């Protein structure tokens, strides 16, 4: 299973944000242990550093990068991603870029806490809780 992990899930883990940490950390572990292919867009890593800029020294950015790259595949952004995102005309351009990237890499799901922002996505968006329910639902 191929997952595009949204920035908020990564920040939940890196910043130990409650009450989201446990479920987001479980998604991280699934990817880290190879139970699913976890992808993040390059945009997400830039956003992580920007968001955490007041918490991180330069040497700590390298540590975060190593931790993230040990668990996830980094997906470069393409001009196509931006063109598709612009054509979507979504209110949140970043979410449109995530969606176009997820579609291009043929992700099965986008894992995010902001599923409402992905209601028009061709790639289904699930919260971590919904993801775990879907993979453990034996009636499907």
Kindly report, residue by residue over 25-67, the tens digit of the pLDDT: 999 999 999 999 999 999 998 998 888 888 878 788 888 888 8
Flag whether pLDDT at 18 surpasses 90: yes
CATH number of residue 85's parent domain? 3.40.50.1010
Q: What is the average per-residue pLDDT within 67-73?
A: 93
How many domains does one find in the chain? Answer: 1
> Which structural domain, as residue segments, surrounds residue 36?
2-136
Angle at 66 between CA 60 and CA 69, to 5 degrees: 140
Helix intervals (H) in the chain:
7-14, 21-32, 42-51, 58-71, 79-88, 93-104, 128-136
Kindly report, residue by residue over 75-112, the tens digit of the pLDDT: 999 999 999 999 999 999 999 999 999 999 999 999 99
- In 3D space, the residue among 1, 21, 8 whose CA is nearest the CA of residue 95 turns out to be 8
Helix axes 21-32, 7-14, angle to 10 degrees: 100
């Amino acid at each position: 299973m191929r997952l595009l992990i949204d920035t908020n899930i990564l920040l939940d883990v890196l910043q130990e944000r409650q009450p989201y940490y446990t479920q987001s950390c479980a998604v991280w572990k699934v990817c880290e242990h190879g139970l699913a292919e976890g992808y993040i867009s390059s945009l997400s890593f830039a956003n992580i550093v920007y968001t955490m800029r007041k918490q991180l020294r330069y040497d700590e950015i390298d540590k975060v990068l190593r931790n993230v790259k040990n668990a996830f595949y980094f997906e470069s952004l393409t001009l196509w991603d931006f063109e598709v995102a612009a054509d979507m005309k979504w209110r949140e351009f970043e979410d449109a870029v995530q969606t176009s990237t997820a579609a291009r890499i043929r992700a099965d799901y986008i894992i995010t806490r902001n599923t409402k922002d992905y209601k028009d996505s061709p790639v289904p968006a699930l919260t971590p809780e919904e993801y775990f329910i879907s993979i453990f639902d034996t009636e499907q």
